Structures are given as C-alpha cells and as structure tokens.
Amino acid sequence: MAKEKLVKAITSMDEDFAKWYTDVVSKAELMDYSSVKGCMIIRPYGWAIWENIQKILDGMFKETGHENVSMPMFIPESLLQKEKDHVEGFAPEVAWVTHGGNDELEEKMCVRPTSETLFCDHYKNIIQSWRDLPKLYNQWCSVVRWEKTTRPFLRSREFHWQEGHTIHATAEEAQAETIQMLNIYADFAEKHLAIPVIKGVKTEKERFAGAVDTYTIEAMMHDGKALQSGTSHFFGDGFAKAFGIQFTDKENKLATPFQTSWGVSTRLIGAIIMTHGDDSGLVLPPAIAPIQLIVVPIASHKEGVTEKATEVYTRLKKVCRAKIDVSDNSPGWKFAEYEMKGVPLRLELGPRDIENNQCVLVRRDNGEKVVVSLDELETVVPEMLEKVRDGLYNKALANRTEKTYTATSLEEMVEIADNKPGFIKAMWCEDRACEEMLKEKAGVSSRCMPFEQEEISQTCVCCGKPAKKLVYWGKAY
C-alpha cells in the first residue's frame, strides 16, 4: 500500500518527462525551492552526491598537478570589461552589487558569473618569468547568472561548479591541457557516472565568450535531449593580451602566455537523474551514491532478525557505503523509499534467510534478485556494485544508439527533429547561416563536431554545398 502511494506520487516519465524530473528531485529530497527566486536549496542527500563528485574529480585534478585556490566572489565592473568578447557574453546576465551597508559603491561589482578576469588579474601579479609557468589552478565555488527561466540542477541563478584556470608558456602546452581536461571529464562521466559522452569541439556560434576553441562532452538524456555536461576552453593569448600578462622567457625576452579554463557543475546531478532515472525514482551510479547498499530486515519482530541484519550491516560498512533501516516502517514502504532515492543495492534478510545463512540482493537498475551466502558478502557486494555501474552504462549507451539518427537533407532533418527526439548526425559546410537555418527550421542546435569524424555524405545537410564537418545536432537542455 505504502509503496503504491509513494510510486504514484511521481508522474511517469512517458506521461510528462519534465514533470517526472521535478517530482524526482523533490521526492528524493535532493533539493527544495527557496524564497530566493531562481536559486535552490541543495538538501543533504543532493549535497552528498555533489561531495562524492567533488572528491573523485578533485583527486583526478590533483593527480594531474592542479592546485586549488580561492578568488573573490565579486568582479569590479572595470575588470569585467577588459576582455571585449567576454564582457559581451556575460554582462547582460550578471547580478550587480551597488551598495555596501548604507553607502553606494564607488564602482559597482558583479557577483562572478565565471572567474577568468579575476584569475588574469592575479596572474598578472604573480607571473614574471618562465620559471613561474605553468600555473595549474582550480577553484570549487558557486557562480551567479541571472537566468530568466530556471530548473533545479539544470539552470539556476546560483550554481555550484569547479572552474579550472591555467596559464602556460606555449600555445601547444595550453592546447594539450585543454584536451587533457576534456578527457578527464569524459573518463569521469563514463566510469563514475556511467554516462556515455560524445567528445568534440563546439562551433564558433556555441563557443564560450572569449575562447578560441571550446571543447565539450555531450550526453543524451533518457528523453533524447542533449545535455552539455562539461566544457574545456582554449583561450590562446587573448585574455593575456587584454590583461597585459607577460613573462620573461628562457631567452630573456618578453613573451605572452596562453590560457585555458574548464568546468563542470551541479548540472551533472541533473544528467545523472535524466540518464538513469525511472518511474520508481532516482537510480544512482554506485561511485557517487551517498548510500550504496541499504539493509532491510524482513519480519524484524521475529527474534534475532534485527541483530543479524545489524551484524551484516556492520560487516558491509567496511566494503561500501552501507546503511540499515531499522525503523518501524513496513518493508514495502522501505523498498519504495530507497528505490525513490536510487540506492544501487538492497539487501533483504528475513528469518528463513538466516536459517539458510543467506540473504537476497536486489539491483536497483534492473530489479534482478540474487540469493547470496552470507559468507560471501564482502566479495559479492563490490562485484554487484560494479555490475550496476556496467548495467547503467550499457542501458544509457543503448538508449543513445537507438536515438541517434543521420540526415542528409534539410527535409529529412526536420522530419527527424519533429518526430524522433535524439541526436542527428549530419554534415555541415561550416557556414554559420546554415547553423542558424537548422535552428530555425528544425529547432536543433549544433552539439559538437565530434573528434571521431565520419563522412555521411559529401554535402552540407542545409545548403548542399561541399561539407567540411560531421556535426551532432539536437535539442538541448
């Protein structure tokens, strides 16, 4: 009964995917709406996911020589304006601080929408010689962009992210850094989040404000829409020139350094939800699940059940993030609750199981039940968690494969875009007019020019002129 009630509490995915999504983020207690319009509260369960993401990524950044720093959250107007393209991109959507206490500020400041300008200002101070290069910095923080429409985790006025900012003696080194970080993002998404991604480069239209090249990982959500899940930018020496950053090179000559920036945000939580979730709620990849295994005693009023379950839980705590629920809720209610919260494995243990020295393990991703000897739990549980990860990845990959189409003419593109949500692979002449035409006629944007190029046809899907690049097109979050 209770289970039914909980399950009914969320809209089904097929009925209304957007409603399903907002139901899940609320019912799984990931977030709550706040009195601050467009900003959200990330609740303990949601924040624990972010902490797990941070921990793994931070380790990957540090292994590759990056160091964390903390920059101010404010940017004086004059600083924001130093790089022309950058200010044009961001000024229309920043929050402005105009007063400190009762006094009007001499110069207004925005709350950082991103921190390139602050890092440049700092680099100018601390870099003199080639010996000071490279600087491989990162910061974990929140930033603010004054969005008109918002959705939990996907687009909010304040959001948490990490922003890496590096500076190098040569363009080649900066380029290599840009690609290295994109690869780290892709590896993280695929291995730890079980989300397959397409790696590629953005078209000029979709580039970050001020970048020479923007690289991206694009994921496909369950509904066929694209989610840009991480970006890495190569800046050339544009910012350095705008900020007057110079260094003395090994030949004792003044030179201009090259920069990069790269970031992922709490959007990744949105990606997890929309890639793996189902009509029972959240489904979490084990690597970032706050609870990896929930122990549910069955018929716990019977003698010895709670004790045995607690013993099993105590053992499993040492091999995974385990939890036990000994509340007086019914097992059915508990099943539904931890399904809603996306816990990868459930361990059921009742009197008959105890008699047989066994328990039942249930996978959240496919509902598979396995009877396991209590003696083998320490080896079986980590293996099953690995299987859940693989199951999630394969399911997501199958969804993407199924929903990836090719088009060789505009009519075909429109026909697919109107009827089959997904990625559309099509050739492009590199003319921005065609890109805009596709947006207008088919409602799709270019997601990326994938590293893995193919020649689907020889002509641009839009204008028929000779094609230069294969592009992934799609509707995006």
Binding site for a copy of itself (CB under 8 A): 32, 34-36, 39-44, 47-48, 50-51, 67-76, 79, 91-102, 109, 111, 118, 121-122, 125-126, 137, 141-142, 144, 146, 157-158, 160
Shortest distance, CB of residue 302 to a copy of itself, whole angstroms? 25
Least Å from the CB of residue 452 to a copy of itself: 36
- Least distance to a copy of itself, CB of residue 288, Å: 15
Helix, strand, or coil (residue 306)? helix
**Residues 88-92: contacts with CB under 8 Å, at least 24 apart:** 88/209, 89/208, 89/209, 89/210, 90/114, 90/145, 90/209
| Paired tokens of 464 | 């028929």
Distance CA 440, CA 434 (A): 10
If the CB atoms of residues 142 and 408 are measured against a copy of itself, the closer one turns out to be 142
DSSP result, 139-151: EEEEEE---SS-B
**Shortest Å, Cβ 168 to a copy of itself:** 17
Q: Residue 125: how many CA atoms within 13 Å on its side-chain side? A: 6
**Cα distances (Å, whole numbers) of residue 462 to 200, 430, 458:** 21, 11, 12
Least Å from the CB of residue 92 to a copy of itself: 5
Amino acid code (one letter) for 458: Q
Contact predicate 333/304, CB 8 Å: no
Take residue 188 and report the two structure tokens written for it: 């993280």
Q: Which one, 76 or 277, has the nearer CB to a copy of itself?
A: 76
Angle at 334 between CA 297 and CA 4, to 5 degrees: 135
Query: Cβ of residue 458: shortest distance to a copy of itself, in angstroms?
Result: 44
Decide: residue 151, CB within 10 A, 0-12 exposed, 13-18 middle, 19+ buried: middle
- How near is the Cβ of 291 to a copy of itself at its closest, in Å? 13
In the complex with a copy of itself, the residue whose CB is nearer, 111 or 413, is: 111
CB of 395 to a copy of itself, least distance (A): 30
For a copy of itself, which is the closer residue by CB, 110 or 426? 110
User: 10 Å Cβ neighbour count for 104?
Assistant: 8
Least distance in Å: CB of 323 to a copy of itself? Answer: 13
Task: Quote the strand ranges of 145-253, DSSP E.
Answer: 158-168, 198-201, 213-220, 226-236, 247-248
Residue 160 or 222 with smaller CB distance to a copy of itself: 160
Structure tokens that stand for 149 in this block:
């429409």
Looking at beta carbons only, is 262 or 393 nearer to a copy of itself?
262
Hey, is 116 helix, strand or coil?
A: helix
Q: How far is CA 416 from the centre of its chain?
A: 27
* Burial zone of 61 (CB within 10 Å; 0-12 exposed, 13-18 middle, 19+ buried): buried
Q: Which of 131, 133, 135 shows the shortest CA–CA distance to 71?
A: 135
- What is the rounded distance in angstroms from the CA atom of residue 312 to the CA atom of residue 296? 11
Partners of residue 68 on adjacent β-strands: 138
Ramachandran sector of residue 316 (left: φ over 0; alpha: ψ -120 to 50; beta: rest): alpha
Which amino acid does the sequence have at 437? M
Least distance CB 228 / a copy of itself (angstroms): 22
In the complex with a copy of itself, the residue whose CB is nearer, 70 or 252, is: 70
Nearer to a copy of itself, 35 or 149 (CB): 35
Nearest CA-CA partner of 392 in 252, 248, 273, 249: 273
Nearer residue to a copy of itself within complex by CB, 54 or 306: 54
70 or 419: CB nearest a copy of itself = 70
CB of 316 to a copy of itself, least distance (A): 19
In this complex, which beta carbon is closest to a copy of itself, that of residue 244 or of residue 466? 244
- Give least dist CB 119 to a copy of itself, A: 9
Shortest CB 43 distance to a copy of itself, Å: 6
Q: Give the span between the Cα atoms of 165 and 117, in whole angstroms.
A: 10
**Quick one: 68 or 458, whose CB is closer to a copy of itself?**
68
| Nearer to a copy of itself (CB atom), residue 135 or residue 346 | 135
Question: Distance (Å, rounded) from C-alpha 221 to C-alpha 223?
Answer: 5
Q: What is the C-alpha to C-alpha distance for residues 308 and 351, in angstroms, rounded to an integer?
A: 9
